[in-house]
Structure 1
Amino acid sequence: MLRQYELVDRVLDYDPAADEALLNRAYVFSVNAHGTQKRASGDPYFSHPIEVAGILTELHLDDETIATAILHDTVEDTVATPQEIDRLFGSNVARLVDGVTKLSKIEAQTDTERAAENLRKFLLAMSDDIRVLLVKLADRLHNMRTLHFIAKPEKRRRIARETMDIYAPLAERIGMYEFMKEMQTLAFAQLEPEAYESITRRLDQLKQGGGDRIAKIASGLTLLLRRAGLDAEVSGREKHPYSIWRKMQERHISFEQLSDVMAFRVVVPSVEECYRTLGVIHGRWPMVPGRFKDYVSTPKRNGYRSLHTSVIHSDNARIEVQIRTPEMHAEAEFGLAAHWAYKEGKPRADPVGNGRHSWIADLVEILDTAASPEELLEHTRMAMYADRIFAFTPKGELIQLPKGATPIDFAYAVHTDLGDQTVGAKVNGRVVPLRTPIENGDQVQILRSKGQEPQPGWLTFAITGKALAAIRRHLRGKEREESVRLGRKLYDDIVARLPASLAHDALPHTLQRLKLADEAALMIAIARRTLPDAAVMEALMPGSTGADVAHALAPQSSAISIKGLTPGVAYDLATCCHPVPGDRIVGLRRPDAGIEVHTIDCKLLGDLAERTDSETDWIDIAWGDKIAGAVARVQVEVKNQPGALGLLATVIGAHKANIINLRLDSRDTSVHTNVIDVEVHDLHQLMRLIAALRAADVVNAVERV
């Protein structure tokens, strides 16, 4: 662990003007606050924040960031308060510590909704001040370095999975490749221990078998470039195990078939010499087709610049070569952190809002429009993971998109209004369908019309989170408008059934009784059948149905999802055939009414099919994933003897079904016929229940109605 003076000296070495007193106060406060707390390794807990601060000194970050790293766990894990941090260390440090504290809550989440909410906090804190993310990445890196001390394998795997899914992609997105590689390697060792052991063992064998092959190739490259008059610094290494494993998975090849496991970095003084170096290397060894990438003229979205090429070296060995200037190398090593580093005692801050890191602003826009936790997680992971391509506007502006993006994604990347109004696209001057994938280097022109609006079909081929979020937001608004219109028609029908005319101020009182915000909310609730008609009638005119509002509001429909319906469209399970999950079903849409769900063999369907004047539309639907309880109707002939109904209830209860209604249909001296409505989970449960009833001694016959 770094001693107090060692940590302070590190900061003063690159920033002599740093606030030494601030760092000393933070060190002492953290040590005292954490007291006798221990880590899983047995080390004092305060060693962790000190080591995190040490990692950040390697990036030459400012004194406020270092102080934040020292204090980042005090509010969460000790009795220290945000107010105390503010008073002792200033508002900036307090704000950063609060941001890191929020980010820490993303950890140890398994429930999707809670994880999404914490990811939301994560992104908002990150967008406010990117230094929050730098501290969090250093915190996660040190935790990964000590992960092997945690005893429970499940906890180690959970932390490793979080690191692989969220933190490593974030490090990559802000250009901190060394952080990303180390995180991926440490996480890979926990998630795929056998693959990790196999690859590291083979890399060791490669080193032993070929001697110091990497040093020999690097020496040869240096000599070649020197003869061409180029002053180059050449270094080489094996690719890290996770990178090798991912290539094996993507290409479906074995380790022996993977030829480019060695990578070399060439640093030259200027951009011109980067291209000269490339020419010299390609002149000496054949280039591997399709493996050249020019990130100098078209940088990655995180600002990364370099020339990448692969050549076939001696013995048919493929090697990857990255060519860059010292400035590009600093960017590649430290990424966005390099823009917070001190140069001649002055910070070079890089605001999030600039174009190079506009993906963060895109993520914030997505979290403002995501309708569900799943949607938020889907879009943010997509934005962090996706490989990029480059396309151009007609004016030459560079737009970066994930692979597989279409003109719709391009349009929304330029501006949301342009995406909403898209009617067509030209790629390289040729009109193409909107679902056409854009290739690297394409010039894309979007054709627009003010009368256009987003179409539901776009969701089938748009792939960027920004485009999908905007399209879904518009469609939800349109569905809301349709629901309000439908609800208004149904509301008028409900009012017409009341026993007397409504008072002029009845509606405000109704909204108050139903605890609804406004008239639109009432109409939507009526259209979507979340409010039964009886509840609305009672709220409008108490006593009009002979029930109170609380009774009328009791759940009367199942929370069951139906595939094939637009989200939010109202539907009812038909009472003529009582469909349950597992039945083959069809939807009927009547004028000015919601959708009725019927079994495919319902008698009503046959009657409607024979009528020529029917205005009913047929809809192809199926049961969705969300299944609660559906009400089935069975007719039971029971022997007229004491205890028969009690036995029926016992059998039904034993099969986890619930009696909703029971009606005596007919009776004679020996047999009673009862019609029973039972709530069941699905068709399989209903069939088992019917079989059990038929087996009962008091039952003569059972049929589903």
Structure 2
Amino acid sequence: MAISPDQTEIDVKDLYGDPSRFLISDLCRIVEDYMNTDQVRDVYQAYLFGAQAHEGQFRQTGEPYIYHPISVARILAEMHMDSKSICAAILHDVIEDTPATKDEVADKFGDDVAELVDGVSKLTEFKFKNKKEQQAINIQKVLMAMARDIRVILIKLADRLHNMRTLGVMRPEKRRRIAQETLDIYVPLARRLGINTLRLELEDLGFRAMHPMRYKVLEHAMLQEAGNRKEIIHKIHNGLTLRLDELSIEAEVNSRRKHPFSLYKKMREKNLSYRNIFDVYGMRVVVDTVDDCYRVLGAVHNLFKPIPGKFKDYIAIPKENGYQSLHTVLFGPHAIPIEIQIRTSEMDNFAETGIAAHWLYKEDSGNEIDVGGRTREWLTGILEMQQAAGDSVEFLENVKVDLFPDELYVYTPNGDIVKLPKNSTPIDFAYSVHTDVGHTCVASKVDHRFAPLDTPLYSGQTIEVITSDGAHPNPGWLDFVVTAKARSNILNYLKNIRSEDAVAQGRRLLSRMLLEKNITLEEMTADSYQFLLDEYGFSSLNQLLEDIGMGNRPAGLVARRLFTEEVDETNQKQDEASGRSPLAIQGTEGMVVSYAKCCRPIPGDQIVGKLSKGRGLVIHQVSCKNIVNERLQSENMIDVTWAIDPSGEYSCQLNLHVQNERGVLARLATIISDESANIEHVEVEDKDGISTNISFLISVNNRNHLAKILRRLRRVSSVMRIVRVQ
């Protein structure tokens, strides 16, 4: 039986210790201010349905469960969200925690409400490997639903906020885990969407749950400081108000203070004590027009001296989440820095409610939220990252990267502004322009001068990207790219290329094994190997070939399995050692063939191949000590040889013992360079003041190329000994 509205009192005892009473009738009064009668009735019907569904369920606080969804709905109602959002908030746990189904919700409240409730609900029917995977998959589900309808994340944020307010009843370890998740994921999401009111409270609640004593000490210090700064703030307020009256500018001037978590972050990042932080308090000026914003800026700069380098114009160049305001820091009375924020009332409303301020409340027309250009682009990027990511954990890590931007602003050659996170590189810029531009990037110009692709960018620079049709992403880019879009697209490209290379390599390996049966892979019918695909759990031959190419399944075993009835298992080692021709290594096989760093084989060396799970075929020198004991394991070792004319460059390490003379390193490096060999790495170790050990890691084409380099190096009089590391 449903609880009556007169009985539904909510005792919200949050971490701030400020209890308040809240009734369903109070929620209806809030929504009556901006909804019509039919919509208010829908909200009340959602309450009745939710109360019935949750009957008999209680929260850990001891109160009936229905109190929680009503509190979530209240948070959204105070943001003036639409009736469907309020209904979905009241019902947000019914699919997950009660027998009610999505179809029932859709029948009673419409498809939109049902989709919102489903988007917020966790995935409970799946088994997860660990807590990290469960978190990643559930958050991925919410973000995908958010990309379709932004209201999903607004409901989720309100849900998380009320859970944080009642976090005190949880066990300490669970309290800290939920608080950490809030600070890692939900706070950045609220920041990215510009919902300042939710973000600030989530930050402080998370901070208090993670570090209760630090929060208490900092809050006490701020309360003491309020009395000391009260006179200064009052003086600035009066002076500013008087000045604006003289200029006939209508404005609302308010004082504000930093929140505990903001102060804590600043103290940690800059290694400061509380007494060394002076911008705890500031002023906010709200005016009617953008023109008034700049007039107020001139007025405050006339009243107090501005601190150089502390002015930021977020009106001309808004933040990524759409936030707009003028920020300046002034030397106030007694040389105490005071931050002044200047904005219009519309900007102020957006700063507090973010993306919710864009809501176009037109229930009849069915219009959805106008998320704005920047947010729409970001949501599109979320979908791209989801498609490119290999799994939910990788997707979540990419999203986290994108949620922590310290922004910088650079220009295209046409003068368009591009926003990037701090420490972005030309590669990040290229991918922000277009994925194809990033994939084919070969060089860049920064302020009309050529610059390396890993050059950190700074605001105000003009970036030009040079592309080539035959170019492709370099795995080394992953070492320095910053943006999630660049990283996910590079990983996706390399993953696809690696898969293609693995299929080709697997085809070569299996075909080689089938030759002794006088049959080629192309001659085999699908029926002849379908039983093997079923046995291994593959849906196509390419999946099997990729598994072979990656070294996860020896080609010899697969070939024997295909001809089980014809092959004597007792003679399998003899079969492996039969006169099968070695596999030719071209040097162009891609990422599924790698060269062991322990012996660094080059064309001309005698080599052998080792199948390594997940890496494919690893090439060693025959004399390599690391594989001596494995040579007899025929299923892992493969006879290989160099092709007649292998291509590419191969790493080789040379250790030189030289006399300690001025300029010897430069002479040796010049010789190596003159012989068209690239120096990948060099290390110098002074032995005794008389001699020095120099280690070069160079790229050569083959043994003949190496021999020419060695002959020239030996002619240098100061070279006492040269050893190739094998």
TM-score tier by shorter-chain length is: 0.7 to 0.9
Q: CA deviation at 1:604?
A: 5.8
Q: Which residue of 2 aligns with 1:697?
A: none
Identity of aligned residues (%): 38
Query: Which SS does the other structure have where 2:315 is aligned?
Result: coil
Q: Which segment is superposed worse, 195-204 or 322-331?
A: 195-204
> What is the CA–CA distance in structure 2 between the aligned matches of 1:443 and 1:127, rounded to whole Å?
32
1:11-70, Cα deviation, whole Å (9 max, x unpaired): 121123652321121111112221232222222211111111111111111111111111
> What is the CA–CA distance in structure 2 between the aligned matches of 1:237 and 1:398, rounded to whole Å?
32
Q: CA deviation at 1:541?
A: 1.8
Q: Which residue of 1 aligns with 2:322?
A: 303
Correspondence 1:77 to 2:97: yes
| 1:138 alignment partner AA | A
Correspondence 1:595 to 2:618: yes
Query: Which SS does the other structure have where 1:184 is aligned?
Result: helix
Residue number among 79, 92, 95 corresponding to 1:59 in the alignment: 79
User: Does the CA contact (< 8 Å) of 1:18 and 1:63 recur in 2?
Assistant: no
Query: Which SS does the other structure have where 2:489 is aligned?
Result: helix
Correspondence 1:246 to 2:265: yes
Are residues 569 and 511 of structure 1, via their aligned partners in 2, closer, same or farther at CA, if it must alter by over 3 Å? farther
> What is the CA–CA distance in structure 1 between the aligned matches of 2:395 and 2:142, rounded to whole Å?
12
1:308-323 equivalences in 2 (<5 Å): 308-323=327-342
> What is the CA–CA distance in structure 2 between the aligned matches of 1:343 and 1:174, rounded to whole Å?
21
User: Does the CA contact (< 8 Å) of 2:193 and 2:375 recur in 1?
Assistant: no
Q: CA deviation at 1:367?
A: 1.6
1:593-632 equivalences in 2 (<5 Å): 594-596=617-619, 601=625
> What is the CA–CA distance in structure 2 between the aligned matches of 1:245 and 1:109, rounded to whole Å?
35
> What is the CA–CA distance in structure 1 between the aligned matches of 2:263 and 2:188, rounded to whole Å?
17
Correspondence 1:466 to 2:489: no
| 1:61 alignment partner AA | M
Q: Which segment is superposed worse, 300-309 or 191-200?
A: 191-200
Query: Which SS does the other structure have where 1:282 is aligned?
Result: helix
Gaps of 5+ in 2: 1-9, 11-21, 571-588, 611-616, 632-640, 654-726
Correspondence 1:541 to 2:559: no
Aligned residues: 587
Q: CA deviation at 1:215?
A: 4.0
Q: Which segment is superposed worse, 470-479 or 537-546?
A: 537-546
Q: CA deviation at 1:104?
A: 9.6
Q: CA deviation at 1:236?
A: 1.3
Q: CA deviation at 1:166?
A: 0.9
Q: Which segment is superposed worse, 49-58 or 112-121?
A: 112-121
> What is the CA–CA distance in structure 1 between the aligned matches of 2:561 and 2:316, rounded to whole Å?
67
Q: Which residue of 2 aligns with 1:683?
A: none
1:435-454, Cα deviation, whole Å (9 max, x unpaired): 12221132222222222221
1:351-362 equivalences in 2 (<5 Å): 351-352=370-371, 354-362=373-381
Residue number among 349, 357, 364 corresponding to 1:338 in the alignment: 357
Q: CA deviation at 1:343?
A: 8.7
User: Does the CA contact (< 8 Å) of 1:15 and 1:345 recur in 2?
Assistant: no
User: Does the CA contact (< 8 Å) of 1:382 and 1:465 recur in 2?
Assistant: yes
Residue number among 18, 35, 41 corresponding to 1:15 in the alignment: 35
Let me know the Cα RMSD of the aligned residues: 3.3
Q: CA deviation at 1:182?
A: 0.5
> What is the CA–CA distance in structure 2 between the aligned matches of 1:301 and 1:105, rounded to whole Å?
37
1:246-265 equivalences in 2 (<5 Å): 246-265=265-284
Residue number among 451, 457, 460 corresponding to 1:438 in the alignment: 457
Q: Which segment is superposed worse, 441-450 or 244-253?
A: 441-450
Residue number among 417, 431, 434 corresponding to 1:412 in the alignment: 431
Residue number among 547, 563, 568 corresponding to 1:525 in the alignment: 547
Q: CA deviation at 1:362?
A: 1.0
Q: CA deviation at 1:375?
A: 2.7
1:17-36 equivalences in 2 (<5 Å): 19-36=39-56
| 2:564 alignment partner AA | P
Query: Which SS does the other structure have where 1:19 is aligned?
Result: helix
Correspondence 1:131 to 2:185: no
User: Does the CA contact (< 8 Å) of 2:194 and 2:322 recur in 1?
Assistant: yes
Are residues 620 and 473 of structure 1, via their aligned partners in 2, closer, same or farther at CA, if it must alter by over 3 Å? farther
| 1:358 alignment partner AA | E
Correspondence 1:168 to 2:197: no
Query: Which SS does the other structure have where 1:291 is aligned?
Result: coil
Are residues 508 and 259 of structure 1, via their aligned partners in 2, closer, same or farther at CA, if it must alter by over 3 Å? farther
| 1:430 alignment partner AA | R
User: Does the CA contact (< 8 Å) of 1:352 and 1:358 recur in 2?
Assistant: no
Q: Which residue of 2 aligns with 1:403?
A: 422
Q: CA deviation at 1:234?
A: 0.8
Q: Which residue of 1 aligns with 2:26?
A: 6
> What is the CA–CA distance in structure 1 between the aligned matches of 2:558 and 2:132, rounded to whole Å?
35
1:410-461, Cα deviation, whole Å (9 max, x unpaired): 1111111111121222233333222122211322222222222212222222
Query: Which SS does the other structure have where 2:306 is aligned?
Result: coil
Correspondence 1:370 to 2:393: no
> What is the CA–CA distance in structure 2 between the aligned matches of 1:48 and 1:384, rounded to whole Å?
28
Q: Which residue of 2 aligns with 1:144?
A: 164
| 2:479 alignment partner AA | T
Query: Which SS does the other structure have where 1:354 is aligned?
Result: helix
Q: CA deviation at 1:525?
A: 2.1
| 1:143 alignment partner AA | N
Q: CA deviation at 1:495?
A: 1.1
Q: Which segment is superposed worse, 113-122 or 15-24?
A: 15-24
Q: CA deviation at 1:239?
A: 0.1
User: Does the CA contact (< 8 Å) of 1:340 and 1:350 recur in 2?
Assistant: yes
> What is the CA–CA distance in structure 2 between the aligned matches of 1:121 and 1:588, rounded to whole Å?
47
1:214-245, Cα deviation, whole Å (9 max, x unpaired): 44433332223223332211111210011001
Residue number among 107, 127, 132 corresponding to 1:87 in the alignment: 107
Q: Which residue of 2 aligns with 1:424?
A: 443
1:643-662 equivalences in 2 (<5 Å): none
Q: CA deviation at 1:185?
A: 0.3
Gaps of 5+ in 1: 549-565, 574-583, 608-612, 622-705
Residue number among 208, 214, 225 corresponding to 1:195 in the alignment: 214
Q: Which residue of 1 aligns with 2:514?
A: 495
Are residues 614 and 126 of structure 1, via their aligned partners in 2, closer, same or farther at CA, if it must alter by over 3 Å? closer
User: Does the CA contact (< 8 Å) of 1:239 and 1:262 recur in 2?
Assistant: yes
Q: Which residue of 2 aligns with 1:224?
A: 243
User: Does the CA contact (< 8 Å) of 2:608 and 2:619 recur in 1?
Assistant: no
Q: CA deviation at 1:3?
A: 3.0
Are residues 349 and 288 of structure 1, via their aligned partners in 2, closer, same or farther at CA, if it must alter by over 3 Å? farther
Query: Which SS does the other structure have where 1:36 is aligned?
Result: coil
Q: CA deviation at 1:389?
A: 1.6
User: Does the CA contact (< 8 Å) of 1:295 and 1:304 recur in 2?
Assistant: yes
User: Does the CA contact (< 8 Å) of 1:340 and 1:348 recur in 2?
Assistant: no
> What is the CA–CA distance in structure 2 between the aligned matches of 1:504 and 1:345, rounded to whole Å?
64
> What is the CA–CA distance in structure 1 between the aligned matches of 2:627 and 2:284, rounded to whole Å?
76
| 2:40 alignment partner AA | E
1:652-691 equivalences in 2 (<5 Å): none
Query: Which SS does the other structure have where 1:290 is aligned?
Result: coil
> What is the CA–CA distance in structure 2 between the aligned matches of 1:255 and 1:495, rounded to whole Å?
75
Q: CA deviation at 1:596?
A: 4.9
User: Does the CA contact (< 8 Å) of 1:484 and 1:524 recur in 2?
Assistant: yes
Q: Which segment is superposed worse, 389-398 or 408-417?
A: 389-398
> What is the CA–CA distance in structure 1 between the aligned matches of 2:253 and 2:124, rounded to whole Å?
39
Query: Which SS does the other structure have where 1:497 is aligned?
Result: helix
| 1:532 alignment partner AA | P
Q: Which residue of 2 aligns with 1:45?
A: 65
Are residues 18 and 332 of structure 1, via their aligned partners in 2, closer, same or farther at CA, if it must alter by over 3 Å? farther
Q: Which residue of 1 aligns with 2:573?
A: none
Are residues 65 and 344 of structure 1, via their aligned partners in 2, closer, same or farther at CA, if it must alter by over 3 Å? closer
> What is the CA–CA distance in structure 2 between the aligned matches of 1:256 and 1:29, rounded to whole Å?
54
Are residues 59 and 208 of structure 1, via their aligned partners in 2, closer, same or farther at CA, if it must alter by over 3 Å? same
> What is the CA–CA distance in structure 2 between the aligned matches of 1:528 and 1:603, rounded to whole Å?
19
> What is the CA–CA distance in structure 2 between the aligned matches of 1:119 and 1:401, rounded to whole Å?
24
> What is the CA–CA distance in structure 2 between the aligned matches of 1:390 and 1:105, rounded to whole Å?
45
